[in-house]
Chain A
């Protein structure tokens, strides 16, 4: 496919400017109060069947690029400004766009010996599970692909960040550190992928996100040796039909509840997360009756530091779009193959931290089901295959 043949010049320029900026930041030309950090990731994928990050089937796609740059400035002891720009390319889901990932003012309202309470306002990252707030920063999670049952790539825009505010509280105790976030805001985004998830591939209108709530309670023992978290998000989408649309202006409601646990030992780590997600759609007209379902997903992931710079990771990830219809009868009724209703993914990966700023990793997936395959990369769902292999390679840099 021609459109992936060029790792286009835009990327080259972005890359060059990132390296320049990293040099400038390190050379101390910018004032001390301004802090710059950034990252760059390029991924390559090949699959036996089905497409992800572009044309991965029968070829190699360089369809995942992530370049980020953040800056922070602290004018007062209790006030801090920070922003991060993100360039991202994700196959046919996103052909390449620059977005403000977050941009906020952080005000500490009350600071005391064992904790603090504060407010963040602007564009704020959405707390959800262990990895969501830094999901686009490859260094912060062990594998190239996050477990897709919980961290969908295709509907990512709903959970990336929201325009609004966040109230946060942190409390340190003898038993560990607690932190709590309560966010209210309008999620960003292009919601075409969500449209096809909810209404099937034929819907033409647009979903608009309403103000959403996201809350997370996090508990860490011994400096993060053990981490536990509960996250809850309440999302509402309103559908705006186009002329001649078969759907009327309905609403979709998505409410995930995620339980997370992690052990971070010296060499061994173990992570598990469980997502119970209530979905409901209503008022889409006679051709699409009101419907409620529960999506269920979980994964378990182990990591072991084989050598000082080399880590092996293994994971099993399960997703059922509707836990009362594991076989996918409803998917068939929507015009999709039944295997679009589930996905079970065995993953084995190696991560090589060559230096503190360069990382290379590779992974293999054996996948049964197509529930999290992006619609944009697989426009004809009947051609997707139930059992498939996915290979990924990724190079990352940060400063």
Chain B
């Protein structure tokens, strides 16, 4: 009987430490992979809404509140960061955005975002393009780039 309870105790300990381990792993994973929307410092500060951010990336909202044209940058559809951004920041699916962009591009009814090859290129473009918006995986200390705030 005693050995049984000891075994049970060990099992419980193991299970709980495993649980803590998993939670830590998930937390660190999510902090590594959480996309953050970033903008060039010239973009006017305002409390933007999720609907507005979606409209920006769907290329339906084309101007910032100060009247300047929005420059949208994205990564490839199969890029992990892009998928993460579309799902978790926009609450959409990548194929929904693709459908909307393709319809505009091939029917001549609108421009699509500029697609970049890497996160480093994203940092360069956002930093050097006035009124640019995009997303990054990790925080950058480039003073020309600002986190984009929205609710």
Residues of A within 8 A of B (CB): 35, 37, 39, 68, 70, 72, 74, 77, 80, 82-84, 102-104, 106, 108, 111, 113, 116, 120, 124-125, 133-134, 137, 139-140, 168, 170, 172, 174, 177, 222-225, 264-266, 355-356
Q: Which residue of B lies closest to A80 (CB)?
A: B111
Contact of A125 among B62, B77, B78, B108 (CB under 8 A): B108
Q: Inside 8 A of B139's CB, which chain A residues have their CB?
A: none
Q: How far is the CA of A139 from the CA of B111 in the complex (A)?
A: 17
Q: How far is the CA of A380 from the CA of B114 in the complex (A)?
A: 51
Q: Is B69 interfacial (CB 8 A cutoff)?
A: yes
**Contacts A106-B109, A120-B109, A264-B93 known; A111 to B62 CB distance under 8 Å?**
yes
**Contacts A111-B63, A139-B102, A177-B60 known; A223 to B92 CB distance under 8 Å?**
yes
Q: Inside 8 A of B102's CB, which chain A residues have their CB?
A: 134, 137, 139-140
Contact of B106 among A113, A137, A224 (CB under 8 A): A137
Q: How far is the CA of A384 from the CA of B51 in the complex (A)?
A: 54
Interface contact A82-B108, CB-CB below 8 Å? yes
Q: Inside 8 A of B133's CB, which chain A residues have their CB?
A: none
Q: Inside 8 A of A84's CB, which chain B residues have their CB?
A: 106, 108
Chain B interface, number of residues (Cβ within 8 angstroms): 30
Q: Which residue of A lies closest to B95 (CB)?
A: A264
Q: How far is the CA of A108 from the CA of B62 in the complex (A)?
A: 11
Interface contact B54-A223, CB-CB below 8 Å? yes
Interface contact B96-A224, CB-CB below 8 Å? yes
A346 to chain B, nearest CB (A): 25
30 contacts between A and B (CB under 8 A): A35-B111, A39-B106, A68-B106, A70-B105, A77-B69, A80-B111, A83-B108, A104-B108, A108-B62, A116-B62, A133-B106, A133-B107, A133-B109, A134-B102, A137-B106, A172-B51, A172-B60, A177-B55, A177-B60, A222-B92, A223-B97, A223-B100, A225-B92, A225-B96, A264-B95, A264-B96, A264-B99, A265-B93, A356-B77, A356-B78
Q: How far is the CA of A248 from the CA of B106 in the complex (A)?
A: 40
Q: Inside 8 A of B11's CB, which chain A residues have their CB?
A: none
Interface contact A72-B55, CB-CB below 8 Å? no
Q: How far is the CA of A139 from the CA of B105 in the complex (A)?
A: 12
Q: How far is the CA of A70 from the CA of B109 in the complex (A)?
A: 12
Q: Which residue of A lies closest to B117 (CB)?
A: A26
A-facing residues in B28-56 (Cβ within 8 Å): 51, 54-55
A291 to chain B, nearest CB (A): 34
Q: Is B103 interfacial (CB 8 A cutoff)?
A: yes
B107 to chain A, nearest CB (A): 4
Q: Is B90 interfacial (CB 8 A cutoff)?
A: yes
Q: How far is the CA of A82 from the CA of B104 in the complex (A)?
A: 11
Q: Which residue of B lies closest to A112 (CB)?
A: B63
Q: How far is the CA of A225 from the CA of B92 in the complex (A)?
A: 8
B28 to chain A, nearest CB (A): 25
Q: How far is the CA of A82 from the CA of B105 in the complex (A)?
A: 9
